Amino acid sequence: MSLFQQPVPCSTTGVGSLPFTSVSQAIEHVFAHYEIPFLPQLPKRHLHEQMLYQFLEDFPGFTKAGNRLFIDLDTFEPKKLEHKSFSFSFLGALDAFIQKSKKAPLVKLQVTSPYTIASHLFCSDQKLVLDHPPIYEYLKEFIFHKTQALRRCAF
């Protein structure tokens, strides 16, 4: 598989969430029904797999209290990202997707933009991440570095 292969014009692919709780069913679905298979998000399987949260594992201060996910301002402490090891357990279908994609000529991974996350995710003070410029700036850098790590890990 070439990371930079050009898709055939009008090739079909999908974006994001699927209604599956089974990783294997989701993987079989995206490889059977789309010309360019994509890494599925499975929010019915776990809240962490919802698009706003899926890349926030390892983000400083990212907290779960009950069913509420937010950035805890008391524990937010930025770290250097250049050589950070990232975790991808919130991407529940990743391992199966990587294994199956070895036979595919082209696949697609999608990442929620930092702006989308920051304009929907709250901090412990009930303000959006977007209302905290230092956290938002760090989020942009964090997503960039985590995406690069995912690319190295997956391909």
Sequence spans of domains, the chain:
23-154
R_g of the chain, CA atoms, integer Å: 16
pLDDT at 152: 84
Look at residue 108 and tell me whether its pLDDT is greater than 80: yes
Tokens of 148: 């690069």
Mean confidence (pLDDT) of the chain: 91
pLDDT tens profile 27-75: 999 999 999 999 999 999 998 899 999 999 999 999 988 888 999 999 9
Q: The pTM is what?
A: 0.87
pLDDT at 115: 97
Tokens of 74: 């008391």
Tokens of 64: 């779960």
Rounded CA separation 134/60 (Å): 13
The whole-number average pLDDT for the span 102-119 is 91
Could you tell me if 71 and 122 are in contact, meaning their C-beta atoms sit under 8 angstroms apart?
Answer: yes
Q: At what angle do helices 133-154 and 94-101 cross, to 10 degrees?
A: 40
Residue 5 pLDDT class (50, 70, 90 cuts): low
Look at residue 1 and tell me whether its pLDDT is greater than 50: no
Tokens of 53: 């949260």
